[in-house]
Amino acid sequence: MSDTNKVQSEAKAKKTLSPKQTKILTSLLAGCGLPLATILLPTLTAYSKMAKELYMGLWEFFPVVIVMFVLVSAILTAVLLFTKSTVRNTIFSLSAGITVAAFLQNALTSASFEGFPADGGWVSDAVWKLILNFSMWVTIIAASVWFGILWNKSNAGRKMLALMMSVALIFQCVAVIPGMVSAVNETASAAAASTQKSFLTTENMFEVSKKDNIIVFVVDRFDTKYYDAQVAKDPDAFKDFDGFTYYSDYIAKFPRTYPAISSMLSGVYSDFSMSKGAYFNKVYSQSPFLKDLEKNNYKINVYIPEMYAYDNADSFDGRVANASSNSKFSIGDRFIIALGMIERGAYFWLPDMLKSQKVSLAAMNEGVMALKNLTKYELDDVKVYQEFCESGLYTQSRQNNFTFLHLRGCHSPFTMDEECNPVEENSVGSYEQTKGTLKFIREYLQQMKDKGLYEDATVVILGDHAALRSDKKLYVEPELTAFMIKESGKAGTPFAESDVPVSQDNYLASIVKSAGLQVDRGYGTAVSDVKADSSSTRTHYFQTWNADPDVNYTYEIKGSGKDFANWKIVEEEVIGKLYK
């Protein structure tokens, strides 16, 4: 009997694997195990953490990840199969050590994960923690090399490493299941998972109609003091805004962008009993104003920031023209996206000392949007102005146009000068940036005039809220917001000012009246119909933030809002957390 047959016979008699079989199985284990622990499973972990905010479904990138996993596994397995002795044992031992260490690191990172670094969800650990974490890696890999190569019982050591690697992979596979189940639940169904999260794009941003137009410019934090600052430096700052009337005693309903913007756009106010996302879904889907615009043949274009004004553009029920729609990737695009997801997976398994501080969910979404040829609307007045200069206003004649454009305006960070040029952050102040925003609006309106569309248009320029002085303290002075409107047919009339007491309750009514919308419900009194001696009571809601718990205070204002003695708190309601 030959030596080979003798070995096989003895192995069979003892019911053990032959050296050849052992080599094949351990090569497959290490060859597939290392890519499993560093490519496939971490990518699934990253996806489960990102699914709720990610602008794509699993199917759009995971098939490519699987192909890449298979290719790497095949190459590493082949290397292990066709190398011998110390080289082969070194590769196997290193693979086992990295696999076990990656499993432990993935578990540690997942347990403490609160967002990627560039999204603001990571704070650098103390140096001693980084060193301790890296020491764990060095210890595990060094021990693997010892047991797999240097130990005088290295055969037994490699068996132990194979067992440890198998246990680590099983645990990691099991650990990723709850996250994936949750991710699937977030998308509601497998079919929904193939549809990207919808967002508002920059499409149609400078489109106007040859028919009727309603344009609303929301200048963030446009407090009356910022208006006064412009006039103080230049008494004629608004002289060329012909047809407009500025109302100096206007009170917004809320003190922050959330829920100010959504209430302005929908006409529905929040009662803070539900989560932010549920509130957005309710007010936008049920909005009588948006429905009335649709009934009056208006194309609705809305440009507002995600998170503070909406969570998912699906909330608009298809009424908003510039909401993104799903489009499929090409093979090349899928490869790029897959690499991006693998990079985010690497954040979970790499040692803390080697984690990139530039990785982010936002960058991933930007990459998805770029490949889909879509650009999400962001509060960036410089970019808005640059795009405006490139395209100018353009027209369509099929429908009327409603444009709701939210600009950063008076709100920090201040990154734009009065000529709309980008500048180093905070090298200018609110005055310069506000003046730049008004320059853009002025040029927008001039182009409407040049096209003969200004006369019949309804144009509103207002703040979403005043300049809140404190997130936790009650008001000590009036909170007044700038509001000005050019009603249809007012072009050419001198710019005017009024101190009649008005509020957000008059805002939509003013649009409805000016545009002549046919509606089935009442919207209240337009600002042009409010009398100077009006004795009506206005309401404003102030919510504390991070006050533990947050409280909603209801202010009632009787008489002039400029006199703080007229601001009275009539109700206090504990709402738990403002941003549920």
Residue 8, pLDDT score: 52
What's the pLDDT band for 193 if we cut at 50, 70, 90? very low
Residues 167 and 239 in one domain: no
Q: 519 and 485 in one domain?
A: yes
Among 505, 526, 547, residue at a domain's last position: 526
Kindly give the interhelix angle for 276-286 and 257-266, rounded to the nearest 10 degrees: 20
Do 46 and 108 lie in one domain? The reply is yes
pLDDT on residue 190: 36
What helix, strand, coil percent values describe the chain, rounded to 5? 50, 15, 35
Residue 241, in any domain of the structure: yes
Same domain, 187 and 144: yes
Q: What is the pLDDT of residues 411-469, one digit of tens each?
A: 999 999 999 999 998 899 999 999 999 999 999 999 999 999 999 999 999 999 999 99
Block residue for tokens 């099991």: 174
**Cβ neighbours of 268 (radius 10 Å):** 19
87 and 221 in a single domain? The answer is no
State the residue for tokens 């499973």. 41
Q: Round to whole Å and give the CA distance between 28 and 296.
A: 66
Residue-wise pLDDT for 204-222, tens only, equals 999 999 999 999 999 999 9
Distances (CA, A) of 527 to 242, 378, 532: 17, 30, 11
Q: For residues 256 and 185, state if they share a domain.
A: no
Q: What count of Cα atoms within 13 Å lies in the side-chain half-sphere of residue 187?
A: 27
pLDDT at 205: 96
In a domain, 355, yes or no: no
The pair of structure tokens assigned to 501 is 């007491």
Asked whether residue 502 is domain-assigned, the answer is yes
The DSSP call for residue 207 is: E
Q: Which pLDDT score is estimated for 84?
A: 86
Question: Strand, helix or coil at 126?
Answer: coil
CB of 491 within 8 A of CB of 455?
yes
Choose the final residue of a domain: 526, 544, 564: 526
Q: What are residue 551's phi and psi, to 5 degrees?
A: -130, 140
Could you tell me if 380 and 288 lie in one domain? Answer: yes
How far is C-alpha 487 from the geometric centre of its chain's CA atoms? 35
pLDDT score at 2: 52
Same domain for 429 and 291, yes or no, is yes
What is the spatial distance between Cα 298 and Cα 87, in angstroms, rounded to a whole number?
Answer: 72
Q: What gap in Å lies between CA 414 and CA 434, rounded to an integer?
A: 9
Of 526, 555, 571, the last residue of a domain is: 526
In a domain, 54, yes or no: yes
pLDDT at 328 over 70: no
- How high does pLDDT run on average in the chain? 89
> Domain total for the chain?
2
- Res 330: pLDDT: 59
257 & 177 share domain: no
What whole-number percentage of the chain has pLDDT above 70?
A: 92
Same-domain check for residues 420 and 507: yes
**Contact (Cβ atoms closer than 8 angstroms) between residue 323 and residue 313:** yes
CA pair distance 80, 23, nearest whole angstrom: 8
| Single-letter amino acid code for the residue at 155 | N
Whether residue 9 is predicted with pLDDT greater than 60 in this model: the reply is: no
Instruction: Give the domain range for residue 449.
Output: 207-325+376-526
Whether residues 154 and 233 share a domain: the answer is no
Q: Are residues 159 and 292 in the same domain?
A: no
Beta-strand relationship, 458-462 and 483-486? antiparallel
pLDDT higher than threshold 50 for residue 28: yes
pLDDT-derived band at 191, boundaries 50, 70, 90 = very low
Q: For residue 504, what pLDDT band results from cuts at 50, 70 and 90? A: very high
Has residue 125 been placed in a domain? Answer: yes
Q: Is the pLDDT of residue 60 over 90?
A: no
User: What pTM did the predictor assign?
Assistant: 0.70
Residue 116 confidence (pLDDT): 87
In a domain, residue 282? The reply is yes
564 lies in a domain? Answer: no
Given a cut of 50, is residue 13 above it in pLDDT? no
The per-residue pLDDT for 140 is 94
Question: Is residue 554 included in any domain, yes or no?
Answer: no
User: Which CATH number do you get for residue 509?
Assistant: 3.40.720.10
Mean pLDDT throughout 18-23? 83
